[in-house]
Amino acid sequence: MEPYHYISSDVLDLHIIYNIIKENKKLELSEEARANIEKSRNYLDEKVKKNEKPIYGINTGFGSLCNVKISAENLTELQENLVMSHACGTGDLVAKPIIKLMLFLKIQSLSYGHSGIALQTVERLIEFYNRDILPVIYEQGSLGASGDLAPLAHLALPLIGKGEVYFEDKIVEGGEILKQFNWEPLKLRSKEGLALLNGTQFMSAHGVYALLKAYKLCYLADLVGAISIDAFDCNMSPFDELVHMVRPHRGQIKTAERLREFLAGSEIAVKEKETVQDPYSFRCIPQVHGATKDTLSFVRKTFKTEINSVSDNPNIFIDANKIISGGNFHGQSLALGLDFLAIAMAEIGNISERRIYQLVSGLRGLPTFLVENPGLNSGFMIPQYTAASIVSQNKLYANPSSTDSIVSSNGQEDHVSMGANGATKILKVLDNLSTILSIELFNASQALYFREPSRTSSILQKVIGDFRKRVPLIMEDQVMAVHIKNAKSFIDSFEIKEDLLFD
């Protein structure tokens, strides 16, 4: 029997989502969630019957058409038209793991009973999630305010038998997948289309996915940085706990602690040094990596709040007998968080490239470009060029999206977050960072060879031993792209215990 995660009001956090993904848990509504959804829907149905006044999104048009009242017999058509007309996505396809997260987070948000969604609709979304029926969604189209309208429209299309889905490694028409499972297309009731489309689940899913990768890359940056410290024959004094306790930023303290753990028992680390100080890219790893860790903590808190929230509009409050049109769909907090995360992770790549540069410079007893016969061999000259090129690209990607806004919906939606652009950019920053750290590990492991017979710590020896199974020592020039690719594969597949990952 497969494990289940019960959708409820219990607080979601990154480590919970990590385990849901890792254990491939299926979703099921708790009794609490079912009751919340049904109460909200019943309240809305009664309100529509008794109230002839226009209620935004329920019996009116949308955006700047908010003052156009729609008759009761046209409410289903109104919602289906909304889904179809807003499915304007374009560009690259969103990755399947992110689509699955979008489904999960949309289900979670609808479960609180403030959206007026029908239970059948939520149950169909859960069927999609549990059976890996993943709507085809495009990266471009959302302004990150009014919700992630275009991508969430594509998420909703298959519910009414339209659009496309991924199923069993194929792209299948929305109508075909319904037939395959003997499901009728849903007839969306009042507000349901708006509940599905309004929301921040495109940004949220990207942010959660990015945070999971970012925590892993922060750990690996410390690990690879520790190898570089020994490879460059650095002093250990900058990592002394006393230094960091007088400037006690949590990330800084944690980074220095990790470096000491990684380098414990290193013969190279305890040897007397000829140099008194090391370049900032080594000496200030705790301060730079630590600042990124602190940014991750802030961004994690932002996204934790968001994934435990209701972000569609209008919101239904049964106890207060109110249906309120507000602005919880606006993604400004997420947009800023995604931009901060991109800047922070780009900086990890920036300082990594500086260590790569130092390692090939012929300093500290290392041969120029890390080969024994430089001149005849170019050695590790050009991997540094590659890293520099990627770092430069990340600097462009780290330019914020949230400082831009373009008026939409005929002036009704006159300030938007552009957080969806930040969401897609952060994935590029993280993939680039993975490559930069791969090149640093490639260089640092080569440099350590020239420190023999002195040895690094047992922890780092084990890492390098595993790395050597994929990437050899380079004694003379070879096609380096192959080794960089294998180094990146090593970084991407590196497994870290959960208690270390989110520490």
Same domain, 395 and 348: yes
Report the interhelical angle of 381-397 vs 480-493 (nearest 10°). 50
Length of the chain: 503
Q: What is the pLDDT of residues 380-396, one digit of tens each?
A: 999 999 999 999 999 99
Same domain, 145 and 292: no
Q: What is the pLDDT of residues 266-280, one digit of tens each?
A: 999 999 998 999 999
Q: What is the pLDDT of residues 133-172, one digit of tens each?
A: 999 999 999 999 988 999 999 999 999 999 999 999 999 9
Report the interhelical angle of 250-263 vs 285-307 (nearest 10°). 120
pLDDT of residue 409: 87
Catalytic residue among 18, 43, 56, 449: 56
In a domain, 83, yes or no: yes
CATH number reported for the structural domain that contains residue 75 in this entry: 1.10.275.10
Q: Which residues of 346-381 are buried (b: 16+ CB within 10 A; e: fewer)?
A: bbbbbbbbbbbebbbeeebebbebbbeebeebebbb
pLDDT of residue 385: 98
How many structural domains does the chain have? 2
Say whether pLDDT at 2 is over 80. Answer: no
pLDDT of residue 503: 81
In a domain, 186, yes or no: yes
In a domain, 318, yes or no: no
- Average pLDDT (290-310) is 98
In a domain, 316, yes or no: no
Same domain, 127 and 244: no
Same domain, 400 and 274: yes
Say whether pLDDT at 129 is over 80. Answer: yes
Mean pLDDT across the chain: 95
pLDDT of residue 63: 66
Q: Which helix (H) or strand (E) holds 37?
A: helix 31-50
State how far the Cα of 333 lies from the Cα of 462, in Å rounded to an integer. Answer: 42
Same domain, 43 and 144: yes
Residue 323's beta-bridge partner residues?
Answer: 316
Same domain, 98 and 26: yes
What one-character-per-residue DSSP string does 56-97 give? TTTSB--GGGTT-B--GGGHHHHHHHHHHHH---EEEEPPHH
- Counting residues of the chain whose pLDDT is more than 70, the rounded percentage is 98
Cβ-proximal residues to 95 (8 Å cutoff; 6+ apart), any chain: none
Question: How, if at all, do strands 164-167 and 138-140 pair?
Answer: unpaired
Same domain, 170 and 290: no
CATH number reported for the structural domain that contains residue 389 in this entry: 1.20.200.10
- Six-digit token string for 417: 């977050």
Q: Which residues of 206-234 are buried (b: 16+ CB within 10 A; e: fewer)?
A: bbbbbbbbbbbbbbbbbbbbbbbbbbbbb
Domain that holds residue 455: 206-310+324-405+416-501
In a domain, 317, yes or no: no
- Residue 216's SS3 state is helix
Q: What is the pLDDT of residues 330-382, one digit of tens each?
A: 999 999 999 999 999 999 999 999 999 999 999 999 999 999 888 899 999 99
Write down the residue that tokens 């301060």 correspond to.
287
Same domain, 214 and 163: no
In a domain, 385, yes or no: yes
What one-character-per-residue DSSP string does 104-121 give? HHHHHHHTTS-S---HHH
Annotation marks residue 43 as catalytic:
no
Contact 283, 234 (CB under 8 A): yes
In Å, how far are 118, 124, 174 from 178, measured between CA atoms?
A: 18, 10, 7
Write down the residue that tokens 């901060």 correspond to.
340
pLDDT band (50, 70, 90) for residue 73: confident
Same domain, 190 and 268: no
Write down the residue that tokens 């020039």 correspond to.
477
pLDDT band (50, 70, 90) for residue 78: confident
Same domain, 47 and 14: yes
pLDDT of residue 66: 67
Q: Which of 136, 171, 199 is the last residue of a domain?
A: 199
In a domain, 411, yes or no: no
pLDDT of residue 64: 65
Q: How many CB atoms lie within 10 A of CB 261?
A: 12
Q: Which of 140, 175, 199 is the last residue of a domain?
A: 199
Q: What is the pLDDT of residues 217-257, one digit of tens each?
A: 999 999 999 999 999 999 999 999 999 999 999 999 999 99
In a domain, 244, yes or no: yes
Same domain, 115 and 251: no
Same domain, 32 and 54: yes
Q: What is the pLDDT of residues 41-72, one digit of tens each?
A: 999 999 888 877 777 777 776 666 667 777 77
Q: Which of 199, 228, 257 is the last residue of a domain?
A: 199
